[in-house]
Amino acid sequence: MSMEWMLSEVVAKMKGFGKIVFVLTLSFFTGCVNLSGSKENKKTVYISGYAQGTTYSIQYVDSAQRDFAFSIDSLLMRFDSSLSIYKPFSIISQINQTDTCVTTDSLFLYCFKRAKQIWQKTNGAFDPTVAPLINAYGFGFKNIDNVTDQLLDSLRQYVGFEKVKLLNDSIIIKPKNVMLDFNALAQGYSVDVVGDFLHKKGIDNYLVEIGGELRASGKTEKGEYWRVGIEKPIENNTNHDLSAVVSLKNNALATSGNYRKFYEKNGVRYAHTINPKTGKPVIREILSATVIAKQCIDADAYATAFMVLGVDSSLSVIEKNNLDAILIYEKNGKISHFISKEIAKDVEWLE
């Protein structure tokens, strides 16, 4: 298969907290593994496929042109057997199906601990137990007219990450009807798992993308930093116009957006994002939140939390935790943006 220079769209499906990722990667793209070593490219290996209900694309510079496709697929399958709520026999599904103790594995344990830390740092805005509320509203908020304050009060007793405990660093204990859903950071974590695998194989230059979450290491074969485009958060953006292009320098990136999924009531636009504390949809303020971090699990979780927090509280969390972020938001009828000073030099703003 010949290679073409093209703008490849990466769109992840809806995940927990009504999250959608819209990120464009500026890269070579092929629909399968490319080990041909063409004249134009003698070192870069391309792998793409399907996992976790979405697509993935990976490219890495390797003079030996090694094919890690099978190993990566095996890694992602093992990942799903631990953290996928769509696999009935996964560890997280077993936990959700019972109120007895369940022994975890290293993947679940790391994800749980990191989620707990970010839950604390965001004052509960990031909460993996919000699933009962999301289920009540239904996909696309189709059941919103049936969600009463009485129903919300009855469901909120099952929401709150403080209700889930870790015993002896391996066993999860939770009350009945409390559900865990790590979709809002697990995909970012899977990116880290694949990136760590490549590092162990001696690969220092790579770009891993799964469902729109990315992690970059080193540089491209041309000696340039990996460049990622952030889509402009406007409705009906069929041309996929960009707001910015980011040079990733040994960092991960995740973006959450509310600009395509919202509903309007009495002249007020509400995002398809649930506030875990109130049980109600948040008023749409942040249109797009991009977080850049060393680990994609962190970028993924914080980007999700910012959709709940809104601009002012997000800026407070960003400052307190020394985070790097790009926020595009609507206030007083105007579109504005915020870029952390530490990454400003790596962001090309296009608007």
Q: What ranges make up the beta strands (E) of 123-193?
A: 165-167, 171-173
Q: How much is the pLDDT for 345?
A: 96
pLDDT tens digit string along 153-181? 999 999 999 999 888 887 888 888 899 99
CA pseudo-torsion sign 209, 73, 170, 157: positive
pLDDT tens digit string along 225-240? 999 999 888 766 667 7
Q: Taking a C-beta distance cutoff of 8 angstroms, is the pair 105, 92 a contact? A: no
| Residue found by looking up tokens 């919202």 in the block | 262
DSSP 266-335: TTEEEEEEE-TTT-SEEEP-EEEEEEEESSHHHHHHHHHHHHHHHHHHHHHHHHHTT-EEEEEEEETTEE
First to last CA, the chain: 36
List CB contacts of 83: < 8 A, sequence separation 6 or more.
90, 91, 92, 107, 108, 111, 182, 186, 189
Mean pLDDT of the chain: 84
pLDDT tens digit string along 300-320? 999 999 999 999 999 999 999
Domain boundaries, the chain: 84-183
Q: How much is the pLDDT for 20?
A: 38
Task: Mention the CATH class of domain 84-183.
Answer: mainly alpha
**260: pLDDT confidence band, cut at 50, 70 and 90?**
low
**140: pLDDT confidence band, cut at 50, 70 and 90?**
low
Q: Please state the pTM of the whole predicted model.
A: 0.86
Radius of gyration, CA atoms only, the chain:
20
